[in-house]
Amino acid sequence: EERQAPEAGCGPDRWHRLAEVLKDCALLLTEAAGKQPKQVLAEHGITVFECTGLIADIASAHFQGGDVQRFKTRTHKAGCTGMGMGCG
C-alpha cells in the first residue's frame, strides 16, 4: 500500500503528521531513518526498522516470528541531520 507522506519541511511537525498517516501501523520498514523521525514515530507507537531486502521477505519473517535481524541495514552512506526541510 502506498500513502502520501507529508511535504518536506516543518521539522518535527512533519514526523508527527507522518505518524498520523501511519496511525494504524506498528512497524515501518525503511532503508534508513534519522534520529528525530525514529524518536517521534516511536512516541506514536511506531517502531522503525532500518532494513535491506524484499519487503515481502522481511514482512513474512516478522509476522511469522522469524529472524528479521538478517535484513538489518549494516551501514549508512548518508543520513539526515537537518530539520526535515528536504535534501538539496
- What pLDDT, in 10s, does the model give residues 45-75? 999 999 999 999 999 999 899 999 999 988 6
Distance CA 51, CA 21 (A): 21
Q: Do the Cβ atoms of 22 and 28 come closer than 8 Å?
A: yes
Q: Taking all residues of the chain, what is their mean pLDDT, rounded to a whole number?
A: 88
Return the C-alpha cell found at 12.
Answer: 518535527
Nearest to 28 by CA among 6, 19, 69, 36: 19
pTM: 0.75
What pLDDT shows up at residue 9? 83
% of the chain surpassing 90 pLDDT: 68
Bridge partner residues of 27 (DSSP):
47
Distance CA 24, CA 74 (A): 28
Domain ranges of the chain: 12-71
